[in-house]
Structure 1
Amino acid sequence: MLPPDNHVHSQFSWDTRSNGSMELTCARAVEIGLPAIAFTEHVDFTAWGHEDLPPGENVSIVHRDRVQPLDVEAYHATLAECRDKYPQLRILSGIETGEPHLFAGSVAAVLRSGAFERVLGSLHSVVHEGRILSPERMFALGIAPEDTMRRYFEGMLDLIKGSDVFQVLAHCDFPRRYWPTGAAPYDEALFEEEYRTVFRALATSGRALEINTRSPLWSVDLMRWWYEEGGEAVSFGSDAHVPYRVGAQFELAVDVVEAAGFRPGRDPFDFWRR
């Protein structure tokens, strides 16, 4: 049996536009034999532009023109409809919190607005000269990809140490998705110490690490670093923004995680564990 897909987006995430469908995603999950999925909709409070500044300490909700807030009421209503229609599939509520350590008040307000069973922590940016920039903008500024990556890992440590609202750390090397075509190929080994430092901090916090199958799939060596640094649990996430991608590459991801020493958890809905 395939593991649950704990990182899925529907029409309620601001960046899916008209391509997302909670109902069609559930149908696809049943078709391929997933035991469960979690609709972890985007909760972001930055547009990652040149003038985007981190919020002050007293800010609660930060609005951005490009990034629309989650419609919590409509989201939960559609979730209930899908649970009725697909009783054979466990469907979890959830959010993917972007930069929760920088927007703690904003994230707390969203969490108070509804019940969420799966909360992911994500870092989609690098703080550069006091501004929150996307990896693509960092690369466009001519900053060396390796320097951008190392600064991203520093931000990842700040995220882990600065926020306790999430259960799973999502795509912990996010900038590699946008690695410049003219640069040397991305080499996990070049950043082994940075990965291990992040993994130690996450393991100490008792949280799970996501293997994200939308990003270039991790090597067995990288997943073994998580195991060796004390990681207890692995969550599988397709990061699907369209229905047909739910559970994508899970067969291969299972092989990678198993080769690193992790096994299925206590039941079909659990994380994989050491």
Structure 2
Amino acid sequence: MLPPDNHVHSQFSWDTRSNGSMDLTCAKAVEIGLPAIAFTEHVDFTAWAHDDLPPGETSIVFRDRVLPLDVEAYQAELERCRDKYPELRILSGIETGEPHLFPGSVAAVLNSGAFERVLGSLHSVVHEGRMISPERVFGLNVMPTEDLMRRYFEGLVELIKGSDVFQVLAHCDFPRRYWPQSANAYDEKLFEEEYRSVFRALATSGRALEINTRSPLWSAELMRWWYEEGGEAVSFGSDAHVPYRVGAQFDLAVDVVEAAGFRPGRDRFDFWRR
């Protein structure tokens, strides 16, 4: 049996454009036999609010397309899909970008509705006083790729220690998606201690780690590092932005997670656990 997909986006995430559909995504989830799905819509910010914690005089750049989540419309569509697909457990949720830097802004969103699944994500690094996506830093060619990855992992530890609003850490090697073809092949082993530092911090906090199947799929050895550092739970996330990708590669991800020592949880809706 496939696990729940705890990381899915619909038309209410700013980066799905016209391709996202909560209704069609639910239909696909039922078709492939998922027990549950969580619509964790993007919550990113383009300005610092009063209670946020910007690192120094840092500007937020290249976020012209980012829009706020329409919580009222989102929750109305969620209820409509719950009525239409009673065989599927449909969870509300958000994916919070840099919650340790935007605590006031995130709190305002969380207070605006009921969210059952909250993901924590790092989509940016600070470079020369600007918050900028790793993909753009790669494109600028201003530092070695390995240095950027290490800076990103350092930021993840800060995120984990600086925010307690999320339950699951999403795509913890996010820049790997955009690894330049001109660079040496990405080597998980090269960053073993950085991964382990992130995993130790997350395990100490008692939260779950996501295996993200939109990113390059992890090796069983990498997932075993999470187990060895005390990780208790694994969440599966397709990070789907279009309906056909919900649950993508979950059969392979299950093999990876099982090989690392994790098993299905207390029921079919639970995280997988050690």
TM-score of the superposed pair, with normalisation by structure 2: 0.94
Aligned pairs (5 A) from 1:50-199 = 55=48, 58-59=51-52, 65-142=64-141, 143-199=143-199
Contact persistence 2:51–2:103 (CA under 8 A): no
Report the equivalent of 2:210. 210
- The CA deviation string for residues 171-230 of structure 1, in whole angstroms up to 9 with x for no partner, is 000000000110000000000000000000000000000000000000000000000000
Contact persistence 2:213–2:248 (CA under 8 A): yes
Cα distance in structure 2, aligned partners of 1:19 and 1:138: 27
Unaligned runs of 5+ in 2: 54-59
**SS of equivalent to 2:17:** coil
Q: Hey, which bits of structure 1, 4+ residues long, moved more than 4 A?
A: none
- The CA deviation string for residues 84-109 of structure 1, in whole angstroms up to 9 with x for no partner, is 00000000000000000111100000
Deviation at 1:59, TM superposition (A): 5.0
Report the equivalent of 2:56. none
Cα distance in structure 2, aligned partners of 1:253 and 1:58: 39
Deviation at 1:55, TM superposition (A): 3.1
Cα distance in structure 1, aligned partners of 2:120 and 2:182: 30
What amino acid is the match of 1:94?
Answer: G
> Is residue 24 of structure 2 the alignment partner of residue 27 of structure 1?
no
Aligned residues, how many? 266
Cα distance in structure 2, aligned partners of 1:264 and 1:123: 27
Report the equivalent of 1:50. none
Instruction: Compare 124-133 and 98-107 and name the one that shifted more.
Output: 124-133
Cα distance in structure 2, aligned partners of 1:179 and 1:58: 34
Cα distance in structure 1, aligned partners of 2:173 and 2:44: 18
- The CA deviation string for residues 62-88 of structure 1, in whole angstroms up to 9 with x for no partner, is 996420000000000000000000000
**SS of equivalent to 1:234:** strand
Identity of aligned residues (%): 85
Instruction: Compare 123-132 and 195-204 and name the one that shifted more.
Output: 123-132
**SS of equivalent to 1:95:** strand
Cα distance in structure 2, aligned partners of 1:187 and 1:245: 26
Deviation at 1:129, TM superposition (A): 1.9
Cα distance in structure 1, aligned partners of 2:113 and 2:50: 23
Deviation at 1:128, TM superposition (A): 1.2
